[in-house]
Structure 1
Amino acid sequence: MSSPLARRAQKMRLPFLTQKGQLEVPSPTEKDLLKEDAGVCVFKDPHEELHSLPQPYRMINKLVNLLFDQSWEIIEERDRLREAELSRVQPTIYPPVFQSKLNNVPNCMAISQDYVFIGGAKGFSIYSLYNAKQIYVWDKLKVGVTSIWATDLGTEVLVAPVDGMGIIRLFYLYKDGLFFIKTINEADDTSKQMPCINLEISYGGDFAAFLLQGAGDTWLDVYKLPKESWLKEVEHPQVTTNPKKKVKQPQLNTLDPMASDNLEMDVNVCFRGDVKLSVPVHIMKIKPPKPITGTTFKSPLEVFAKVEGCYGLGSGHNHFIKDSQWEQQAAIFNAMYKESLDGDSEEGPPSMATFHFLLASCVIQMPAEVKSPSGVAGVIGVHWMGHHNFFLYSLNRTLKDKVEPEGVWPCAAPIALSLLSCCCSYLVLACEDGVLTLWDLAKGSPLGVVALPEGCVCQSIHFLKWFVVHEGRNVYPEGPVTSQVTCVVLCTDASLHLVAASRTQGPTIRTLVERPAKHPDEAVCAVAPVQPLPGMVLVFSRNGSVHLLDVAGPQIVCGFAPPRPFHLAAPWKPVFVVSAHQPYFLLRGDRPDGAEATSEARDIPKSVFYFHFAAYPLLEDISRNCSIPQADLPGSASWPQALSLEERCESFLQKRFQKLEHQVKEQEHWTRLRRYSLLLQRENVKK
């Protein structure tokens, strides 16, 4: 008789011998086994027995095997990740230097000069940037502040909070006083309320634009800000008080329940509701471009005869095409893409616009009689969602003037994003097909055109101050440098790219962070440049990590994290702000929910953490020695230097004079062409 172990070994043979009837393990002495059992033995695959199982056992078996295989793959992947993490050199993680404990949820933050503005549940708070001390709280709203802007006006700050209803208010911060200016879009009837979905304030605070949308309509309101009048009015205030109604000062919110009432004596800023400031002047209302329709002109001669000025044709926004031509093109398009268009509804009016305040330069055509002060915005550039054109409107107009663009820059594809540098000298237009156009507005010519890798769609663009690598470290060249631009592009697939261009060579593109195909939790969701550190950007990942990336490497320098048990509640949309001039950045941290939270953390729902780059040993030397004279750099003689103000004015005047001469000649040719078209029309009528 065979043993149980021998019978088990016989069954595990692949393929094994199966007998019809009862199976026994034959002794090795039987020589004619195959001859005797040839008629009763068959060869079978062991998996065939599983396939022959009845339902639902066959399906259950497949699901169990699939679950086992997937679980085993996950286990192996975790082991590989654990081994890779152990072998990888972990960057140094730095804690914050200050912590602001808040009563309400900080929805948004902004930094201007030495102040930090935090939008909360019923208003906004003002803090000191250097010690995280609360200076003032303005909390008169019924809804929370969702976004806040703070613009430096020199010694003053213009604050623009937007609440949850889309209502925007303007405040003026001067020394120890906070002044209310005006509510821009508040309506008595809530059904007619036009929420503000975007705003922009010009460099220097001379103009402001607000994108309003509601009730199926969208437009852009442009205001001129009387900042000179504001300064005079706050220095020599004219107090207008009402004896029947006392101005109630808002109370300061503190976290210390034992704080006494005399805490208001330590407040450095007070609200001056008794002083009225001049309101902004509405100068322009820009609506989305109308869809192109056919012209009523019957012949080209009629077009030349009735259009005034030689700039009416070919300027990007005056096209004379017949209705029949549009119908033919629409029929061809619908026939070619019939399958893709089935079931699609008609697109509504454009709901989003991006706009920038540009300085007057030779690339922007302006009327000869318009004179704009140096350093003051003279043009607003607008592009609407889904449109190919970038429109340029002059800011030297009144509300009675007809709103027409002075210039149009057409693009080959719809413009998805655009960004203006902080110095207003460079502009980037990113199209939906992944093509980026870099413009040097000061020189009046493009620096180049570059295409992102195939499949990458631009999500955000960030300018970096021009830097060079000298003796293994990143430094800023001292003195002005022209026609040199560097920007970081974050794509929708979480890949990060560095784009650089200069006058002497064409644009280049380099990948900094690849798309995380196997580890989606490491995907980059936000990027912020750090101006005090040359060539450095903050990178926020979906797993909640915050790292400082050196784009010259590229390599991770260090990391930042709030103290435990705080973490980022929404890592894919972090709430942070980076100072443009001081080595600080602020990050919102949330306490964990559940048993992990300590008693102290439960009492403080939200906190804002202050990180100071110069306070960390690894970054202290970089922040202090971040510039170098251009004479010490190799090849400094070939660097493009910025011209002096007199040389720039002389060059601009010469180019302007040459352009005026060319315009006079074009106008003469246009006049002759109009006369000839009128003559031909008269002869056609006589015939």
Structure 2
Amino acid sequence: MLPKTKDTAEMLGAGKEDARPEPVLVPFLELTGVAQLPENTNCLTCTADGRFLGLAHTQGLSVWCASSFTRVAEWLQSQLELIFIQMTRMAEMTYLLGTVDDMGVARVFGFHSDDIHLLSIINIMEDVTVRSIFLTFDLHEGGHYGAASVSCNGVVWLEVYQFPVEQWLRELEMVSSQKKDENVTEGLDIKWSPFTLMMKISPPTPPTGKPLDFLTHCLTVDIIRSSRLHKEQPSSSSDAATTKKTHESPSCTQHFLLPCRGPTGDSTENPAGLPVAVAVWWSGSTSLLQYLLQKTPKNKSGRTSNYLCIFKYSESVRLVVIKHFLFRLFIFEADVTPMPEMLWPNAKEILCSAVSRCTYLIALGLKDAMVCIWNRQSGAPVSIVLVPGETSAFSRIQFVDNWSVPAQDCVTVGTEPVRMLTSCKNGAIYMVTAGLGMRSSSIQLFQRPKDSRDLPTVAIPVPFLQAVSLIMQRSGNMFLTEAISRETVCYLTLPTSHQTASLYNPVYTLNAEQRALFIRGDQETSNLLERRNQSQLFVFYFSQSDIIKPHIDCPRQPTARHHGTLEEICNVYLEQRAQSVDDRNKALEQTWGKMQKTASALQRTHRSHKHQKNLNK
């Protein structure tokens, strides 16, 4: 193990400016479990219930028991290298797995009764010349929907799928029953129900030769503005070609959105827990688009009524002026190319995004260190925050659900604070707090490292620890840091014979139910083949350590006001106001006292100046 005499500044590689001269000893969290991994395990995932681990590796995938580290089932195919895996529960002890291999082929598997079944290959290569490659693949919780960004011959688009979960569950149960029946011959050819391609979303393009409606006009302005941004960037001839190619084929980011009732209490009729829309933005764009997953009914005129909420604010990041425009649009229903139902324009280019657990809020990391949080119910920004002193572009933004904010920070009691962890490309990490009626603030958790080896490769909030984040560096250092005190809680170390694999892209997963971190470690050797064969799964159980116990916290569930009617929202607000009357009175007294002291000081200053003026006369 690493020596326990190193101080915080030395381990982080980027000490704080106000660091004390004496070294600060930080405890080390010991390993609590080790298991041998399959050859070249490229990806790990954990089910939300904490029961199983999914491993993507050479020649297929396997499912392990998360508590005993024993292999429960596996699916193997020669000359196959899986590089991505996701696992979600469809029913009790039945799970859906999505994978992508190194050739960009996506597959969907079903895990039931300790068996793995290949349910579908999403992009079958029928013609090599028109080969579709999956860049990303995302399964929504429950497995009813999936989305993938696809590339083919330099063109990129987004596809949204609907999976026949109910049919697959019946078919998996039937296969399991036939397997237990001794009278049924083995090797039955099962034809699984096919999935449905719901929509294919391509990057917006300016229309030619036809009149523009308001929505198309906004998209056209966004495209023209994005083109100008690319042209203004200085670049060499080779860089210019790369920029042009990037502009022609932008990357795509999407988020599934749950039902969100409007101010009138109306809601889309959909089963609970199923998404009703998908939010999409393209690289280089300033607009966030929302597409409905279900077609809305037509009115008598044959057109579909939609609301488009648009908020514009000035280019100045210090004085943000928000103007609210609500437009009712009539958009013809399109069977081939779906039209966005909602559009949120921003003053700056979108660099990263995140949605809250209930998808009620959407956070956007914009260019020039701006963070914008949108409220889906009202269609208005909750807050726009400027991260002070930060010139580097954002690389990632994440919501933090288990960090309490002091009551005195709330100007309007009853508003729920919004907390986000933002990572910058230069290695700096900030915790941003914002919300309606709140003073926005940003705390720097990690300064920009001086050495590139100390750049963080992973910076994520730990869902079962209050205000604690996990940070991994290129050097192999891992530690937990606390946001409020900005102190390192502890270091996580592997045996000296192993190192994190890989240093630039660690293979790990967090188990929120068992409060554990699973991470792959490779044996330090010059023999690459031996290193691949000696990979091990290391486990840190946080709840078993006295160091971590003070920080363990149960995540708070979203309040009812998120999905309630207007009456329910008002009732919750009034209840919170009644409960916080003492705190508000105390804060009012403190504010009044400060105002009286300030007024007295100003009066004394004024009398002094007047007296000095009389003396001069």
Is TM more than 0.5 here? yes
Residue in 1 that maps onto 2:162: 224
Report whether the alignment pairs 1:234 with 2:135: no
Residue identity in the other structure for 2:560: A
CA distance in 1, matches of 2:110, 2:77: 16
43, 46, 68: which is aligned to 1:131? Answer: 68
Structure 1 residue 338, shift from structure 2 partner: 10
- Conserved 8 A contact 1:295-1:320: no
- Conserved 8 A contact 1:196-1:213: yes
CA distance in 1, matches of 2:381, 2:226: 34
Structure 1 residue 191, shift from structure 2 partner: 3.0
Residue in 1 that maps onto 2:422: 489
Report whether the alignment pairs 1:571 with 2:571: no
Question: SS at 2:84's partner residue?
Answer: strand
CA distance in 1, matches of 2:70, 2:123: 32
**Mapping for residues 153-552 of structure 1, pairs under 5 Å:** 153-155=90-92, 156-237=94-175, 275-290=190-205, 292=206, 312-313=213-214, 317=218, 344-345=240-241, 347-348=244-245, 349-361=248-260, 371-397=269-295, 400=335, 402-442=337-377, 444-452=379-387, 453-468=389-404, 483-517=416-450, 519-552=451-484
Question: SS at 2:547's partner residue?
Answer: helix
Report whether the alignment pairs 1:586 with 2:518: yes
Structure 1 residue 502, shift from structure 2 partner: 2.6
CA distance in 2, matches of 1:338, 1:154: 51
Residue identity in the other structure for 2:547: L
Counterparts in 2 of 1:316 and 1:236: CA distance versus 1, 3 Å:
farther
- Conserved 8 A contact 1:536-1:551: yes
Structure 1 residue 184, shift from structure 2 partner: 0.1
Residue in 1 that maps onto 2:309: none
Structure 1 residue 314, shift from structure 2 partner: 5.7
**Mapping for residues 48-127 of structure 1, pairs under 5 Å:** 87-112=22-47, 113=49, 114-127=51-64
548, 556, 559: which is aligned to 1:619? Answer: 548
Counterparts in 2 of 1:197 and 1:396: CA distance versus 1, 3 Å:
same
Report whether the alignment pairs 1:142 with 2:74: no
CA distance in 1, matches of 2:105, 2:226: 41
CA distance in 2, matches of 1:644, 1:524: 34
CA distance in 1, matches of 2:494, 2:186: 41
Q: Which runs of 5+ in 1 are unaligned?
A: 1-77, 249-272, 298-302, 304-311, 472-480, 631-639, 653-687
Residue in 2 that maps onto 1:264: none
Counterparts in 2 of 1:93 and 1:396: CA distance versus 1, 3 Å:
same
Structure 1 residue 513, shift from structure 2 partner: 1.1
- Conserved 8 A contact 2:98-2:139: no
Note the alpha carbon deviations across 1:211-240, whole angstroms, 9 max, x for none. 110212222111112222223333345989
Residue in 2 that maps onto 1:642: 560
Counterparts in 2 of 1:364 and 1:237: CA distance versus 1, 3 Å:
farther
Structure 1 residue 111, shift from structure 2 partner: 0.5
Structure 1 residue 430, shift from structure 2 partner: 1.5
Counterparts in 2 of 1:295 and 1:565: CA distance versus 1, 3 Å:
same
Question: SS at 2:44's partner residue?
Answer: strand
Structure 1 residue 196, shift from structure 2 partner: 0.4
Residue identity in the other structure for 1:228: E
Counterparts in 2 of 1:618 and 1:445: CA distance versus 1, 3 Å:
same
- Conserved 8 A contact 1:200-1:355: no
Question: SS at 2:168's partner residue?
Answer: helix
Structure 1 residue 546, shift from structure 2 partner: 0.4
Residue identity in the other structure for 1:457: A
Q: Larger radius of gyration, structure 1 or 2?
A: 1
Structure 1 residue 145, shift from structure 2 partner: 0.6
- Conserved 8 A contact 1:110-1:150: yes
Greater RCO (CA < 8 Å, at least 6 residues apart): 2
TM-score normalized by the length of structure 2: 0.71
- Conserved 8 A contact 1:203-1:357: no
- Conserved 8 A contact 2:368-2:391: no
TM-score normalized by the length of structure 1: 0.64
CA distance in 2, matches of 1:96, 1:485: 34
Counterparts in 2 of 1:293 and 1:279: CA distance versus 1, 3 Å:
closer
Aligned residues: 497
Structure 1 residue 355, shift from structure 2 partner: 0.5
CA distance in 2, matches of 1:314, 1:416: 22
Counterparts in 2 of 1:570 and 1:446: CA distance versus 1, 3 Å:
same
CA distance in 1, matches of 2:129, 2:505: 31
Residue identity in the other structure for 2:433: A
Counterparts in 2 of 1:247 and 1:427: CA distance versus 1, 3 Å:
farther
Residue identity in the other structure for 1:280: F
Note the alpha carbon deviations across 1:435-493, whole angstroms, 9 max, x for none. 1111233554322011233312101122211322799xxxxxxxxx9732211111011
Structure 1 residue 521, shift from structure 2 partner: 3.0
Structure 1 residue 200, shift from structure 2 partner: 2.1
Structure 1 residue 545, shift from structure 2 partner: 0.7
Note the alpha carbon deviations across 1:340-385, whole angstroms, 9 max, x for none. 798834723224100011123357999x996333432111111111
Residue identity in the other structure for 2:390: E
606, 614, 634: which is aligned to 2:535? Answer: 606
Counterparts in 2 of 1:507 and 1:365: CA distance versus 1, 3 Å:
farther
Q: Which runs of 5+ in 2 are unaligned?
A: 1-12, 296-332, 408-413, 571-617
Residue in 2 that maps onto 1:633: none
- Conserved 8 A contact 1:97-1:612: yes
Structure 1 residue 416, shift from structure 2 partner: 1.4
> More strand by proportion, 1 or 2?
2
Question: SS at 1:377's partner residue?
Answer: coil
Residue identity in the other structure for 2:168: W
CA distance in 2, matches of 1:628, 1:526: 21
Note the alpha carbon deviations across 1:250-278, whole angstroms, 9 max, x for none. xxxxxxxxxxxxxxxxxxxxxxx755432
CA distance in 2, matches of 1:616, 1:224: 43
Structure 1 residue 571, shift from structure 2 partner: 1.9
Aligned-pair RMSD on alpha carbons? 4.0
Counterparts in 2 of 1:246 and 1:220: CA distance versus 1, 3 Å:
farther
- Conserved 8 A contact 1:240-1:274: no
CA distance in 1, matches of 2:454, 2:233: 40
Question: SS at 1:232's partner residue?
Answer: helix
What is the percent sequence identity of the aligned residues?
22
- Conserved 8 A contact 1:200-1:356: no
Q: 4+ residue runs of structure 1 moved beyond 4 angstroms?
A: 84-87, 236-241, 245-248, 273-276, 293-297, 318-321, 336-343, 362-366, 601-604, 627-630, 644-652
Residue in 2 that maps onto 1:12: none
